[in-house]
Structure 1
Amino acid sequence: MWVCCGAVLRVLLLVQAAWWVSVGQVRYSVSEEAKVGTVVGRVAQDLGLEAGDAEARRLRLVAQGRRASVEVSGASGALVVSSRLDREELCGKSAPCALRLEVLVERPLRVFHVELEVTDINDNAPVFPVARKNLSIAEFTTLPGSRFPLEGASDADIGSNAQLSYTLSPTEHFRIEEEKSRSKSLFLVLAKPLDRETVPVHRLVVTASDGGRPSLTGTMELVITVLDVNDNAPQFNQSVYTVILPEDASEGTLVARVNATDPDLGIYGEVIYEIEAVVPPSATDVFSIDARSGEIRLRGALDFETVSLYHLHIKAKDKGTPPLLGHCSIELEVLDVNDNAPEVRVTSLSVPVSEEASVGTVVALLSVSDRDSGANGRVRCWVRPSSPFGLVSRLSGSYSLVLREALDRERVSEYEVEVLAEDGGSPPLSGRRGVRVSVSDVNDNAPSFSQAVYTVLTRENNAAGAELGRVWARDPDEAGNGRVRYSLWEAAVGGWRSASSYVSVDAESGRVWALQALDYEEVQVLEFEVRAVDAGEPPLSGNATVQVFVVDENDNAPSLLPAAGGGAGGEAGGGARGGAGGSLEAWSGEGSEALMVPSLWAWASWGSPAGQVVAKIRAVDADSGYNAWLRYELWEPRGKAPFRVGLYSGEVRTTRALEEADGPRQRLLIVVRDHGEPPRSVTATLSVSVVEGAEAAAAVAAGSSGPRASSVSEEVSLLSSASTNVWLVVAICAVSSLFVLAVVLYGASRWAPRAGVVSGPGPTTLVCASEVGSWSYSQRQSRSLCVAEGAGKSDLMVFSPNFPPPPGAAAKETQPEPPALLDTVSGPPCPGTRPFLSLLSFCGHGISPLGLVPWILLLVLDGVNWSFSFMFCPLWTSSGSCFIQVG
């Protein structure tokens, strides 16, 4: 069909061109929007040019004032479309649209006029002046049928392509009307009242359609805004808000955010929030609300224990006139937290508690509570320390503090009992309450002395009323139960005198007093018991033994013993026994004190060898120890005298053989001195007659008790000389051994730890005084050597070893141990005869065993006629003991 139409069109164009040529003008027609290259007409042919002449004669098209969208093809001479043809652009709304063209031919030059008509096609859709049209219509107040003018659309095409019709998108509220007038006005008509709260904005589309085939359309959007009036009250999104907050929520915490909406606009939709009421009313100041945002925040503190549930009534109002209101409520549940510690209260307290109270005795009643709830309010209790008290639960929250162990006031007199309570919160809280429980005393402790045996040392000749020492008994009870009084129990001394005649005990202080002066030569040891009795009911008592050792003082000077005979090799004789007569004086005492003693005399023979015993001076001292340790010194003659005196033996020996030049008689002045402080002495004069051997033998025979005194004397001299050699060898070996042992012990004493002396009971010991006045004790028995003649005497040298502490001895708590009381010693001095010579050992306190060597050497070198006995003990501690006695 389109092919046939094209052929017909071409025929018409050829006919029209032939007509135009005949009149000198060619007319063509072409549709707008024809494709580039479309042949509009054959200009050369229509102008009567031969084929090929168009190019030779340079046929071309000349436009007149506007851009030509066609051109002449030089080869064919055809008029073709060279660019887009837009009728609306070329002619606008003019009809018809004809373009005048000039065709120029050279050789010869000719001008032809060509008219090109551009025909319209429906290539333009209707166009509204605006794409969106905004309208405002008040709700309810605008009545149905109201008309609102609209601007119509336009179409660039012409003819039927520009004939427009209008339609409106479906809606029940509006319709479109077109008024059939010259101006063809368009209106929007309201068909139904508007409700802004239902549809605040209506969006409609107006469509314009042209009459082309096919029809083209254009649209315009209508935005219809519904104007508001105050016809709606604010509405909350919830009528009841439920909120849970912990009670420890801080100030400013957001409780809730309420929201009320008002569908109205402007001031009609602006909502203001207020708290209308709070239950309980006392919590009005606890909450605050933001009038614009509706945020409710804490302004005070919550307390679950006071109020656990709050009710808040909230109202919202708009700004209309009159304002419209909306309401809601908030239920705030307070969540308990563990913010209360348990409380412990003492409802009853029964103190003091007797120390003899039985187990299970109720001491106090306690009440424990916690204001929190649930696990936070569940409380467990205990006591500290756990003994001797415990808790017994009676009812919920009620406890009894009971006694679980026996009490001892002397061990603990008062208890600080702490009752602790802890709840089950997380973290748990605790409470505590201190209860002071004092323990009342009963008389359940007897007085106890710090020592079972007290040792007291006192010098003889003490003043009457002098304090000897002090005993002290401890009674841990209090008040009258612990008040102690002391008394002396009678005990015989020596079987005939009681201790009460010598000493007394102060009932309050326990001081031991001397009632009279003590004499060592009369009483060496006083032993008695002291009883301590408390003032309890019934009274309890304890005993202790007191041993008072009387320490000897140097109050007796040495005294010379009468001689049994005289002569060479014998003892010095007295003047009453015969000899070369004359009475000699012996001076005894100290200072200017003098005492007449019998004359002393002896014989010696010419030619006697060195070391021959001429005489032996015998003296004793009523004192003991150092005070009775005697030493003999030759005062005159001094220098190269033919005689010497044994320092401790008193033996007078020849230092060399006697010669005639020595004279027939030698007068010796001998001093016997003890080791007391100050020392006492006695002075004796010994006359030695030097005679011939026969005369010496006769003198000996005259002074002896049997015949053959001279031969006996010679035998004794020979035996003495042999014995001296043997004993010298033995003594040197012994001294060497003792020296080595002393060196070893001294080394051990320098490295061994020093043990402290501990007081306590022990075996019987003996007491002596040192040369320097120190006193010590020993548990070892001494050995005593006594001579056959003279009064019996004990010379005791003692050192105290370490004693183990007495079993069950109670430690001092409040009072120090009296310093006057020493370690326990007991036992009588050595009975028997008095020794001829006592050698005191070196009592402790830093004296080393090396000090024994010179004394033993003196004994060895002193002569043949000596004897000794000793007991050796280690001296490596300050309290070591040793005893050596020689007689």
Structure 2
Amino acid sequence: MRRYVALFLLFTSVRNASTSVTHYSISEEMKEGSVVANLATDLGLDITTLTKRKMRVDIIANKKYLDVNKETGELYVLEKIDREHICTTKSSSSCYLRLEVTLDNPVRIFNIEVEIVDMNDNAPQFRRDVIHLDISEATQKGERFSLSNAVDRDVGTNALKTYHLSESEYFSIEVQSGREGSKFADLILKKTLDREKQAVHNLVLTAVDGGTPARSGTASVIVRVLDTNDNAPMFDKAGLTVTMLENSPIGSLVINLNATDLDEGSNSDISYSYSLYTSEKTQETFNLNPTTGEITVKGMLNYEDFNIYDMEVIAIDKGINSLSGQCTIKILVEDMNDNHPEISIKSFQSPVSENIELDTVIAVVSVSDKDSGDNGQVDLHIPENMPFKLRESSDNYYELVVSEPLDREKVPEYEITFTVTDRGSPPLSDNETMTLELLDVNDNVPQFSQSFYTIRVMENNAPGSFLSSLTAFDPDLHENQYLVYFIIEKEIANTSMSMLFSINPENGNLYALKTFDYEIEKEFLFHIEARDSGSPPLSSNVTVHIIVVDQNDNAPVIVSPWRAHGSVVEEKIPRSTDKGSLVAKVIALDTDSVHNSRITYQFLQVTDASLFSLDQYNGEIRTMRMFSYKDSRHLRLVVVAKDNGEPALSATVTIKLLTVETDVKAYSDMTEMPLEYDIFSDINLYLVIGLASVSFLLLITILVTIVLKCQKPKHSKTAPPSRNSVISERNSTIADSTLVSNDAYWYSLFLAETRKGKLVVRQPVPKGSRYIVSSIPRGTGLSETSDSAASTLQV
């Protein structure tokens, strides 16, 4: 370094004897301690002289950079020299440090100038690292824009020389020289800007000096393209189709429109509105948010009223010269199954006759549904099990026709329910009910509740007595139902039924016109006719069987033993009579029937209850033991015969018995003997007892045979004579062996058991008497309807 400084000083030092100014040149890159020059040598002074003359060195300016070694006289660098710091102005390219050296004895002053030679130690530097420019995109090309210049503290060739701009298709620079050699650059627009393509251009401006090597500085140039309203708002699509369900709730979102404007600021602020081509109904149904472009449901959507909405929405920016864009929107309302199908009865014929012909049209029905698709497809049907069917006549029209015969009497009217159902999911339905009335036709004959009426009437009824109501039923209506009743005339014994009975022609009440007597008339058989008032009239008849019911109006009449009115029957009986011997048989007759004529016998009074027994059913009085000497010779028996009526009627007979020691007159050759008053008065009881003893075994055999025959009756019109049987002169008989007749005389059979066998006795009955003879004991169990053979009375 010293060698370099020495050489530099050698060539740069200039002596100016006249001015006493010594010039030195040093580089600002010299380091601390570097010797600039030896003043003693340069001033022609030796060291000894300097010591003696007391050299003083005064640094006039910037004394901190240079100093003189007073012992050696060397000028050296005290601190690193910065030329740009020492010479702050660039008005002159020269920069000096001035020193003044003074010697005493004699005084001598030396002026020294040290020129600081510039070196390229400073790069160009911009006042701002970032340069912002706002350029409208409407600026025409060729337009200039001033840029901040760079500053280089170096001078001369080391100073700022030129500028460079980073590559750009839109910009270039032009370097200009100013006064005092300053350099600055203008930014030139080569191509029209488009903010929407590139809103910001980032450029780099480089300032380069002339040093070797050259040094440079950079600044960022940020060009922001100012927007102009040169872009209209644009929708994503020019046409949109949106589907909405009908009945969508108010406020439901339809679509969120999104229009964009490539501009910025107010030029890109968009407001939405309906155009004039949008109908009022659409604007009333849908709400358009002017700020967000959101379209929502404003009114009720009903597919059946309106199913397509067309609207045009305009998007307008807020630039000074506003621009706009359009979008058409088609809103399709999608059908929901929200409408019930409807039924319309176009015609309905009611009432109709019950004999209406098959396939006759009763009603015409139309169906409809405001929905569409499957929601609008409908099916019509009626309840099952009805005599009607539906027949489709044309589109959505149906005919109701008769498919089966109608019968008003079975079903007078029909509730016909038409049900229509659509094919939606879930399906909806509606129904309509009509009442079909049937008109009556006289197609039913009157009907009695029974095919045969058996009416029982008690004898001795009052004339005009009500017997029964023979009401018939006719299921038809009105005059077809109004019935008239008649007695079909029939004569019995020259007597017309109309003389005996009367029927109310309006209500069928049957009355008896006379008093009936069971003992004379027991039953009547005739027919009643019921005729309706239809045209032609229909009728039916029924058989009426009138049965006269017996009353207990006849008291029993004792016919055996017979006695005059008020007299007492007297009998004789041997005292030797055996136990169980037949003493007497009481027979009573009752002209009533059945139970009213059934007689039972009881002792009313008896002298000795231990001596006699009375069979309550056949009236036989028998001995219960042998007579003893203690027994009275005169015995008195009072027998009462009581019928089974309610209340019961009765008759009594008094029998006086006289026990005798003599034999009874033999009756071996006598089979019949008429009795006047006392049937036992002349009979030899002893003979009877003897005969009975001889023929006892034979009697047992005969009785068994008779019993067996009675148990096996023959099915013939006339039964053979048997024990305990009766017959009239006219041979009239009735069931269960009970006989009724008007004969002048009745004959009763009296069987007397004697030792000789059976004795048949005939007894006359007073003229004009009428009796019912019941010869069957109560114990046989036969009733009114018994199938036993008829009994006869032997004469």
TM-score, structure 2 normalization: 0.68
- The answer as to whether partners of 2:171 and 2:189 remain within 8 angstroms in 1 is yes
Letter in 2 for 1:228: D
From 554, 559, 570, the equivalent of 2:552 is 554
Aligned in 2, Cα 1:659/1:885: closer, same or farther, shift over 3 Å? farther
Distance 1:207 1:526 in 2: 155
1:516: which partner in 2?
514
From 641, 656, 659, the equivalent of 1:687 is 656
1:504: which partner in 2?
502
Shift of 1:204: 2.5
Please state whether the residue corresponding to 1:661 is helix, strand or coil.
coil
Shift of 1:531: 0.9
Which moved further from structure 2: 678-687 or 495-504? 495-504
Distance 1:124 1:886 in 2: 175
From 620, 625, 630, the equivalent of 1:661 is 630
Matched, 1:616 2:599: no
Which moved further from structure 2: 406-415 or 463-472? 463-472
Shift of 1:140: 2.3
Shift of 1:206: 3.9
- The answer as to whether partners of 2:555 and 2:649 remain within 8 angstroms in 1 is yes
Letter in 1 for 2:164: T
Normalized per residue, the structure richer in helix is 1
2:603: which partner in 1?
634
Q: Deviations over 1:64-107 (max 9, x none)?
A: xxxxxxxxxxxxxxxxxxxxxxxxxx989799xxxxxxxxxxxx
Aligned in 2, Cα 1:243/1:648: closer, same or farther, shift over 3 Å? same
Aligned residues: 633
Distance 1:606 1:259 in 2: 153
Shift of 1:871: 6.1
Tell me, which stretches of 5 or more residues in structure 1 are unaligned?
1-8, 14-31, 33-89, 96-121, 564-571, 576-582, 584-595, 732-783, 798-828, 838-864, 874-880
Distance 1:500 1:92 in 2: 176
Letter in 2 for 1:646: D
1:567: which partner in 2?
none
Please state whether the residue corresponding to 2:276 is helix, strand or coil.
strand
2:145: which partner in 1?
147
Letter in 2 for 1:172: E
1:264: which partner in 2?
263
Shift of 1:533: 0.7
Aligned in 2, Cα 1:315/1:866: closer, same or farther, shift over 3 Å? closer
- The answer as to whether partners of 1:785 and 1:885 remain within 8 angstroms in 2 is no
From 565, 573, 583, the equivalent of 1:604 is 573
- The answer as to whether partners of 2:726 and 2:739 remain within 8 angstroms in 1 is no
- The answer as to whether partners of 1:624 and 1:793 remain within 8 angstroms in 2 is no
2:473: which partner in 1?
474
Matched, 1:544 2:552: no
Matched, 1:787 2:786: no
- The answer as to whether partners of 2:727 and 2:739 remain within 8 angstroms in 1 is no
Distance 1:93 1:872 in 2: 172
Matched, 1:715 2:711: no
The equivalences for 1:576-595 within 5 A come to none
The equivalences for 1:38-187 within 5 A come to 133-141=131-139, 144-150=142-148, 152=150, 166-177=163-174, 185=184
Q: Deviations over 1:443-487 (max 9, x none)?
A: 111011111112222222122222111122111111111122211
2:66: which partner in 1?
none
Shift of 1:360: 1.3
2:354: which partner in 1?
355
Shift of 1:538: 0.5
Distance 2:630 2:728 in 1: 38
Q: Deviations over 1:529-549 (max 9, x none)?
A: 111111111111111112222
- The answer as to whether partners of 2:635 and 2:657 remain within 8 angstroms in 1 is yes
Aligned in 2, Cα 1:516/1:177: closer, same or farther, shift over 3 Å? same
1:526: which partner in 2?
524
Distance 1:836 1:266 in 2: 152
Q: Deviations over 1:206-256 (max 9, x none)?
A: 456799999998765433212223444433343333333343433323333
Shift of 1:622: 0.9
Shift of 1:192: 4.1
2:714: which partner in 1?
none
Aligned in 2, Cα 1:359/1:419: closer, same or farther, shift over 3 Å? same
- The answer as to whether partners of 1:673 and 1:679 remain within 8 angstroms in 2 is yes
Letter in 2 for 1:649: N
Normalized per residue, the structure richer in strand is 2
Aligned in 2, Cα 1:551/1:321: closer, same or farther, shift over 3 Å? same
1:310: which partner in 2?
309
Aligned in 2, Cα 1:830/1:161: closer, same or farther, shift over 3 Å? farther
- The answer as to whether partners of 1:786 and 1:793 remain within 8 angstroms in 2 is no
- The answer as to whether partners of 2:160 and 2:183 remain within 8 angstroms in 1 is no
Letter in 2 for 1:392: R
Distance 1:785 1:870 in 2: 17
Letter in 1 for 2:136: A
TM-score, structure 1 normalization: 0.62
- The answer as to whether partners of 1:610 and 1:655 remain within 8 angstroms in 2 is yes
Distance 2:307 2:603 in 1: 119
Shift of 1:171: 1.6
The equivalences for 1:559-578 within 5 A come to 559-561=557-559, 563=560, 572=561, 574=562
Please state whether the residue corresponding to 2:640 is helix, strand or coil.
strand
Aligned in 2, Cα 1:509/1:449: closer, same or farther, shift over 3 Å? same
Distance 2:413 2:782 in 1: 57
Letter in 1 for 2:653: A
Larger Rg: 2
1:399: which partner in 2?
398
Aligned in 2, Cα 1:643/1:230: closer, same or farther, shift over 3 Å? same
Distance 2:223 2:739 in 1: 147
Shift of 1:142: 7.6
1:366: which partner in 2?
365
Distance 1:719 1:212 in 2: 199
Which moved further from structure 2: 618-627 or 199-208? 199-208
- The answer as to whether partners of 2:468 and 2:510 remain within 8 angstroms in 1 is yes
Letter in 2 for 1:344: I
Letter in 1 for 2:193: L
1:251: which partner in 2?
250
Tell me, which stretches of 5 or more residues in structure 2 are unaligned?
5-30, 32-78, 85-119, 675-682, 708-721, 750-775
Distance 1:603 1:395 in 2: 116
Aligned in 2, Cα 1:92/1:203: closer, same or farther, shift over 3 Å? farther
Aligned in 2, Cα 1:178/1:279: closer, same or farther, shift over 3 Å? closer
Aligned in 2, Cα 1:408/1:153: closer, same or farther, shift over 3 Å? farther
Distance 2:469 2:694 in 1: 62
Which moved further from structure 2: 138-147 or 250-259? 138-147
Shift of 1:680: 0.4
- The answer as to whether partners of 1:289 and 1:296 remain within 8 angstroms in 2 is yes
